[in-house]
Amino acid sequence: MTANGGSSEVAGQLEVWCAGEDWCPVTTTSSLIGKKWHPVILHRLLEHGPSGFNELKDDVDGISSKVLSDSLEDLGEKQLVDREVVSEKPFRVQYSLTLHGESLAPVIYAMRDWGVEHLSEPTDDGPSVA
């Protein structure tokens, strides 16, 4: 669907939603990656490549198994992460970025770079803007 309500004829584009064209791209992108753990998961998959569930859980410090599972499901529904069963016995799943997920690399790396430039190391009081 396009911003004006019509169908998109461009293959491979994600559905957009908005109330006004001026803010559609930012609003839609933020709806895709705006949840707390989504950018972190995407970053880890960009940095480490395809990963199993436990490997991702280790790479995303502080995330619970349920939240990781729900986040991966959500990212899959949004066509950003692909889930592939690589083994039935023992059951093993591998997660990787789709082409849409990979195309978010400049956004994710810009977030990382901004954090490096503007945030100081966390203290007992929590992170702070430098």
Is the model's pLDDT at 27 over the cut of 60? yes
Strand order through the sheet with 81-87? 51-52, 92-97, 81-87
CA nearest neighbour of 69 among 89, 95, 48, 91: 95
Average the pLDDT over 39-43 and give the result. Answer: 97
Task: In whole angstroms, give the CA distance from residue 4 to residue 16.
Answer: 10
List the structure tokens of 114: 């901004």
Residue pair 86/92 in contact (Cβ under 8 Å)? The answer is yes
pLDDT tens digit string along 58-114? 999 999 999 999 999 999 999 999 999 999 899 999 999 999 999 999 999 999 999
Record the pTM: 0.78
pLDDT of residue 18: 63
pLDDT of residue 2: 39
For residue 117, the one-letter residue type is E
The region, left, alpha or beta by phi > 0 then psi within -120 to 50, assigned to residue 49 is left
List the structure tokens of 71: 């986040």
